[in-house]
A = this chain, B = another copy of it.
Amino acid sequence: MSHGPDIARIGALIGDPARAAMLTALMSGKALTASELARVAGVGAPTVSAHLVKLAEGGLIAAEKQGRHRYVRLAGAEVAEALEALLGLAQSRGHLPFRPGPDDQAMRRARVCYDHLAGEMGIALYRALHAGGALALAPDGVALTDRGHGLLDGLGLDMPALMRARRPACRTCLDWSERTHHLAGGAGAALLTRFQELGWLRPRQTSRALRVTLEGERELPRLFARLGAGGQGSPGP
């Protein structure tokens, strides 16, 4: 007999096309209203309402009533991480986009993964931080080095707040389009926010894909080069 957590319940929640579309939309990190979710899922209001009850009971989403709207978001970074892992598996198994379109390319370039940067840009950021000696292996994952602390501080991140937070500053997340890791956790989230503040990346209305502004096109590679340059190189295998 098999043991372990009941994977079937979560699988069933994700296994419905409407719910899957809703969850995928929520990977943008934005809180969406029930009617917005109805639109992305292509179903009516009563249906989406029933789905929201099930997703909430399953612990995958958190809902918050605000006026006559009901704002829905993913229940946490854990959920987003697992969904990203599933997206990766689906990708590798050839379960292609339900609607392959022109902004597939934009998605691969740069997108939001719950609250941090993913896609080519996300990978480039992670690689630059690693090359610059900003990251080190910790017993429970990845951690910021002193050097990394200084680098992020120099970028204008609020480091005291980051350290104070209950949430771990660094996590890694498996990027489904690039098939390698990018930076998640508090630092990942703060970096994405900062890049948006600086006007280098701009969110889109319709999808998780991020628009890289002209300024971002110029400044981001420059930043990555600068970050990576200071490093003592990666230790040999």
Contacts and interface: CB of A to CB of B under 8 A. Distances in A.
Interface string A67-81: 000000001001101
A2 interface: yes
A161 interface: no
Most B C-beta atoms less than 10 A away, residue of A58, A82, A176: A82
Nearest to A83: B7
A229 interface: no
Contacts of A149: 237
Given A136-B137, A137-B130, A10 B89 contact: yes
A83 B96 CA distance: 19
B7 A90 contact: yes
Interface string A219-237: 0000000000000001111
Nearest to A92: B78
Q: Which A-B residue pairs are the 9 nearest by beta carbons?
A: A11-B14, A12-B15, A11-B15, A8-B20, A5-B90, A59-B93, A15-B15, A82-B89, A85-B85
